[in-house]
Amino acid sequence: MSTATMERPTASSPAFGSSDSRSIQLAFTSADQVHEGLDTAVEALIQTAAQEGTCGIRVTRLEPGRYTVALDESVPFGETHEDLAA
């Protein structure tokens, strides 16, 4: 059995638990879950990005199975960029 967790610091969307509406922390125990989990997180932040209209979304792989999906003012509005943490 595999599990995925999505963690956010403060409450906003019941689908993800708690949220600060600008960043989502994700942890996956199975590679099969990564694509769907990242897509869901990006979709959730697209709504906030559209309301603000000032930034895009950055997906950062922190380590195998751990990601951050966040609004980022260095990313142009309407775009999603992917990074690997050092």
**Following DSSP, what letter does each residue of the chain receive, concatenated?**
---EEEE-SSBS-TTTSB--SSEEEEEESSHHHHHHHHHHHHHHHHHHHHHH-S-EEEEEEEETTEEEEEEETTSPTT-EEEEE--
Average the pLDDT over 12-36 and give the result. Answer: 73
Mean pLDDT to the nearest integer, 73-84: 95
Mean model confidence pLDDT for the chain: 81
Confidence check: pLDDT of 2 > 50: no
As for how many domains the chain has, the answer is 1
The first and second tokens of residue 5, run together, are: 């967790």
pTM of the model: 0.74
* pLDDT classification of 69: cutoffs 50, 70, 90: very high
Residue-range definition of the domain harbouring residue 35: 4-84
